[in-house]
Amino acid sequence: MPSTRITEAKGILAARLREIRHEAGLTGRTLARQAGWHYSKVSKIEHAAQTPNEHDIRTWCRACDAEEYVVDLIAAARNIDSMYTEWRRLTSTGLRSVQESFQQLYEHTRQFRVFQHSAVPGLLQTADYARAHLRAVIDFRGIPDDLDCAVAARLAQQEVLRSGGRRFMFIVGEQALRTRLCDVGVMAAQLDRLLDLTANVPHLSFGVIPSCGRSSIMPTENFWIYDDDQVRVDTVPGQFRIKTPTDVALYEKAFTRLAEDAVYGQAARDLVSAAARALRA
């Protein structure tokens, strides 16, 4: 459950702060006295009953002579309340607002690294494929039907592909080329678009992890890395925004492994073409 994830994140932060205090050889009362706090505040923070703010974390680390940990700990604290956005809240007025919520982030991102195992990423979708994809989401979640507006907003995001100064790295599982979210004609057109993009867009790389190949890592979730600042992770119940530097670095490591397992160029186009032939057969 999402609430469990947040509770776990609070527990991890609390445990790390407790560990820092132990490494400094301070008791809880000594730390509280040096920080100018009531002694119970240290206990509440270490038992995850109270989430520390940024000033608390700086004070804690200064008292423990561990200021090198401040950046990661502050990022973790910020992440706790913002990392999870419930889809039922995001989609309370339909999918248009969800799609539009990414616009500013996309405009400020210079490097996109995207992994999706069984669907074509939104930035690469044709209008008809996007319509089928978003229709499936609307029907599954039983949310307000604003399909036309949602599709328009998704297509508007694709303007970043044509703007300068950006780099796009997409990796998909071969299953994404074969999963039928739409009818044959729409899927065939989507595969043709992928063939065009992989041949004619110099600032975009498109890799496919062959289904018959051996992968060193295969995450169960799709994820998008925006520069080296944050990661979006899509799950069934919701969406996580991860900003803690060490966690972002772990997703970067995963993406690097996936990139090593993928094929590119003509080899990737051969897999797309094979999927198209199987579709038409």
Domains and CATH numbers, the chain: 2-82 (1.10.260.40), 85-280 (3.30.870.10)
Specify whether the CB–CB gap between 222 and 233 falls below 8 A.
yes
> Concatenated DSSP letters for the chain?
-HHHHHHHHHHHHHHHHHHHHHHHT--HHHHHHHHT--HHHHHHHHTTSS---HHHHHHHHHHTT-GGGHHHHHHHHHHHHHSEEEHHHHTTT-SHHHHHTTHHHHHH-SEEEEEESSS--GGG--HHHHHHHHHHHHHHHT----HHHHHHHHHHHGGGGGSSS-EEEEEEEGGGGT--SS-HHHHHHHHHHHHHHHHH-TTEEEEEE-TTS--S---SSEEEEETTTEEEEE-SSEEEEE--HHHHHHHHHHHHHHHHH-B-HHHHHHHHHHHHHHHH-
State the pLDDT at residue 86. Answer: 63
Angstrom distance (rounded) from CA 192 to CA 176: 14
**CA dist list (Å): 10 to 44, 46, 64, 73, 106:** 12, 10, 20, 11, 29
* Burial (CB count within 10 angstroms: exposed 0-12, middle 13-18, buried 19+), residue 273: middle
Cα 185 to the center of its chain, rounded Å: 30
The pTM score is 0.76
pLDDT in tens, the chain (281 residues): 445 667 888 899 999 999 999 999 999 999 999 999 998 999 999 999 998 999 999 999 999 999 999 998 998 888 776 665 666 666 778 889 889 888 899 999 999 999 999 999 999 999 999 999 999 999 988 889 999 999 999 999 999 998 888 999 999 999 999 998 899 999 999 999 999 888 777 899 999 999 987 778 888 889 999 999 899 988 776 677 888 888 899 999 999 999 999 999 999 999 999 999 999 88
CB atoms near residue 13 (< 10 Å): 23
State the pLDDT at residue 1. Answer: 41
Specify whether the CB–CB gap between 140 and 228 falls below 8 A.
no
Which two tokens mark 200? 């004619």
